[in-house]
Amino acid sequence: MSVLEACNLGRRYRRTWALREFSVAVPAGHVVALVGPNGAGKTTLLHLAVGLTAATKGTVRVLDGLQPGCADALAGIGFVAQDAPLYRYLSVTDMLHLAGNLNRSWDAQAASSRIASLGLPRDKKVGALSGGQQAQLALTIALAKRPRLLILDEPLARLDPLARHEFMSLLMAAVAEDGLSVIFSSHVVAELERVADYLVVLNGGRLQVAGEVDDLLAAHRVLTGPADLAAAAAGQLNPVRSSVAGAQAHLLCRTSGPGEPVPSGFLAQPVSLEELVLAYLRDPSVVALPGPELAVRA
């Protein structure tokens, strides 16, 4: 089953394409890192997925074929936007009561238990809560729907490091307990590296990288060696990204497997998720998509 499937999807605002020629099928059961620079089209894609905006061209389906915005899709998706759409002048209790009345399915006991475990004062106005507390309240409301898919659009952007850590810890506890799928948008790869097992990279409104994290990391490596041999090695390997610092050269390359020979004078090392993402983002003409040919020049 796929939780998000798009075919030739595009969204245009006046003369600007925020998303174009986007096709992907994200399987269920993953924590998906949706990564890209500011303005890459991440929020546009998520708004299309939850039915907040309509496509200019192409199609998008969620939860194995549902039209975004239909009753079943709304019931099956929990959405936390970057600005945490909460009513500032309501108390925490009233906010939960309102959310319960607005959603077709609602686990009031789970919401109450989560609020108690977080130590959120139920009689306090939402606007008086800290940024981290508001983010946790928004997550609590999304999870109380018992969704099949949780979509998070930059929920950590305004949080301090401690609040970020607490948010991620509680999120992963919920994922382990409920077994839901998650699409987590961010432009900070370090926030997602320890939790994501599927990667989708948007760059300039286009899909650049998609696949399971373990497969993508296994298909790349970093070669380190003398700078004066870098040009010859690069010509042989066609690296995704190459850099030279003093006498040392670093080449991030695709590989056909662990047995692939290493050029003379170079050492091969595993690549981190952050290194991989940054290498592709620096060159939008290179894409890495699922299939026998992992990466090609666009």
Cα 29 to Cα 45, 122, 180, 183, distances in angstroms: 19, 33, 6, 10
Pairing mode, if any, of strands 149-153 and 220-226?
Answer: unpaired
Residue pair 242/250 in contact by the 8 Å Cβ criterion = yes
- Listing DSSP states for 242-272 in one string gives EEEETTEEEEEEE-S-TTSPPPTT-EEE---
Q: Does residue 116 carry a pLDDT above 50? A: yes
Instruction: Tell me the mean pLDDT in the region 19-33.
Output: 93
pLDDT for 297: 41
Q: What is the pLDDT of residues 137-188, one digit of tens each?
A: 999 999 999 999 999 998 877 777 887 888 888 888 888 888 899 999 987 7
Residue 263 buriedness (CB in 10 A; 0-12 / 13-18 / 19+) = middle
Rg (CA), the chain: 21
pLDDT for 131: 84
Angle in degrees, 0-180, between the axes of helices 92-102 and 108-118, rounded to the nearest 10: 150
Q: 273 Cβ partners below 8 Å, 6+ apart?
A: 33, 189, 192, 193, 196, 199, 213, 217
Record the pTM: 0.88
Query: Which one, of 33, 29, 32, lies nearest residue 281 by Cα?
Result: 33
Domains of the chain: 2-211 (3.40.50.300), 219-297 (no CATH)
CA dihedral over 116, 127, 50, 154, signed as positive or negative? negative
Work out the percent of the chain whose per-residue pLDDT is above 90: 50
Query: Which one, of 104, 107, 159, 108, lies nearest residue 136 by Cα?
Result: 159
